[in-house]
């Protein structure tokens, strides 16, 4: 086992933990982004605030975001393409330039989202409003109108939107990556508060 030290919030740091910058993880993310979006959660080491939903359309955006993160921050990522193959996309797609006022999500898909939220906690929603204006949120049944508004706003040239069943996919078998930002020595905390 690599040398360990204890710093920051009493966590042990080690070279043995999963690093988001490990070559195999970077390769998986790059390959997934060549097929579609990568969505996820960025949780902050040491807490102090809740995590953020994240959405990446390009590898450059992903890598820039990770490099700006603090050492110890945790990233949980999912590939939209992988989840589509598993039939785990609740709703989504590309803008077809439908009539004004209609959204990227079909009415039947919206009903699927509402039905899911009646029995599960949360969904992860990401939308692109054209020209790489990307928004990602985690929300619940109290904010279904916000999901609808995002779908309408995404109905522009280059628009796209995805709704993922967060409560269902928050399992190792569905993760593209579940890893932490390393410190300058390449170590990640083996525990810690998020």
pLDDT in tens, 24-81: 999 999 999 999 999 999 999 987 678 999 999 999 999 999 999 999 999 999 999 9
Structural domain of residue 54, as residue ranges?
5-82+174-189
Residues 76 and 93 in one domain: no
Query: Is residue 120 one of the residues assigned to a domain?
Result: yes
Query: Is residue 131 one of the residues assigned to a domain?
Result: yes
Query: Is residue 27 one of the residues assigned to a domain?
Result: yes
Residues 31 and 99 in one domain: no
Count of domains for the chain: 2
126 in Cβ contact with 79 (< 8 Å): no
What does the pLDDT read at residue 183?
95
Query: Is residue 40 one of the residues assigned to a domain?
Result: yes
154 in Cβ contact with 37 (< 8 Å): no
Residues 105 and 156 in one domain: yes
Residues 61 and 101 in one domain: no
pLDDT in tens, 153-176: 998 888 899 999 999 999 999 999
- Joined together, the tokens standing for residue 121 give 């906690």
- Angstrom distances, CA of residue 110 to CA of 13, 90, 93, 96, 99: 44, 8, 12, 17, 17
Q: What is the mean pLDDT of the chain?
A: 90
For position 46, which CATH number holds?
3.30.190
Secondary structure of the chain as H, E, C letters:
CCCCEEECCCEEEECCCCECCCHHHHHHHHHHHCCCCEEEEEECCCCCCCCEEEEECCHHHHHHHHHHCCCCCEEEEEEHHHHHHCCCCCEEEECCCCCCCCCCCCHHHHHHHHHHHHHCCCEEEEEECCCCCEEEEEECHHHHHHHHHHHHHCCCCCCEEEEECHHHHCCHHHCCEEEECCCCCCCEECCCCC
Mean pLDDT of 182-190: 95
Query: Is residue 169 one of the residues assigned to a domain?
Result: no
Query: In which band, very low, low, confident or very high, does the pLDDT at 182 lie, cut at 50, 70 and 90?
Result: very high
Residues 71 and 128 in one domain: no
Residues 44 and 17 in one domain: yes
Per-residue pLDDT for 7 more than 60? no
Residues 78 and 97 in one domain: no
Residues 157 and 182 in one domain: no
Mean pLDDT of 112-127: 95
Query: Is residue 194 one of the residues assigned to a domain?
Result: no
Per-position b or e across 150-181, b if 16+ CB within 10 A of its CB: bbbbbbbeebbbbbbbbbebbeeebbbbbbbb
The pTM assigned to this predicted structure is 0.90
Residues 101 and 143 in one domain: yes
Residues 97 and 40 in one domain: no
Residues 61 and 100 in one domain: no
Residues 74 and 94 in one domain: no
Considering all CA atoms of the chain, what is the largest pairwise distance in Å, rounded to the nearest integer?
61
């Amino acid at each position: 086992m690599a040398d360990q030290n204890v710093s920051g919030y009493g966590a042990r740091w080690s070279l043995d933990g999963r690093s988001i910058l490990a070559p195999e993880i970077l390769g998986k993310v790059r390959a997934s982004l060549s097929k579609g979006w990568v969505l996820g959660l960025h949780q902050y080491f040491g807490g102090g605030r809740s995590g953020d939903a994240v959405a990446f359309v390009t590898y450059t955006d992903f890598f820039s975001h990770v490099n700006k993160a603090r050492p110890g921050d945790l990233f949980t990522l999912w590939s939209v393409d992988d989840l589509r193959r598993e039939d785990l996309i609740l709703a989504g797609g590309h803008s077809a330039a439908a009539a004004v006022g209609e959204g990227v999500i079909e009415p039947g898909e919206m009903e699927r989202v509402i039905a899911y939220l009646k029995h599960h906690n949360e969904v992860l929603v990401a939308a692109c409003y054209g020209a790489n204006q990307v928004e990602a949120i985690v929300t619940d049944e109290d904010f279904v109108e916000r999901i609808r508004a995002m779908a309408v706003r995404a109905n522009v040239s280059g628009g796209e939107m995805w709704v993922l069943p967060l409560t269902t996919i928050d399992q190792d078998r569905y993760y593209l990556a579940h890893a932490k930002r390393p410190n300058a020595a390449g170590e990640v905390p083996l525990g810690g508060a998020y």
